[in-house]
Amino acid sequence: MAVSLRPRALGLMLGAIPAIASAHPGDHGSNWLQAVMHLLSEPDHLAAGALALAFAFWGIRALLRRRGAQRSSSAR
């Protein structure tokens, strides 16, 4: 029986995220504008946002390709 390692590896990576996350100094403030400026001025937040956008792009692209392949195979 073949077992796919992708779900297991993904689970291990997601489980390790809280262990490697670290807080940084800085006033987060209670004002929404201060919070937005904090998110846009910290390199770690920018990197996380870029990574999230990259994964979202990759996921949407994969879904659209799968949908296109299903439509083309059902049209035959």
Domain membership of residue 49 (yes or no) is yes
Whole domain around residue 71: which residue ranges?
A: 43-76
Q: Is the pTM of this model over 0.95?
A: no
User: What per-residue confidence (pLDDT) applies to 63?
Assistant: 92
Answer yes or no: is 16 within a domain: no
pLDDT in tens, 26-74: 666 678 888 888 888 888 889 999 999 999 999 999 999 988 888 877 7
| Total domain count, the chain | 1
Q: Quote the CA–CA distance of 76 and 66 in Å, as a whole number.
A: 16
Structural contact between residues 45 and 38, judged by C-beta atoms closer than 8 angstroms = yes
Tell me, what's the pLDDT at 1? Answer: 45
CA distance linking residue 76 with residue 61, whole number of Å = 23
In a domain, 6, yes or no: no
Average pLDDT, the chain: 79
**59 in any annotated domain:** yes
Asked, for residue 10, whether it belongs to a domain, the answer is no
Q: What SS3 class is residue 75?
A: coil
Host H or E run for residue 61: helix 43-74
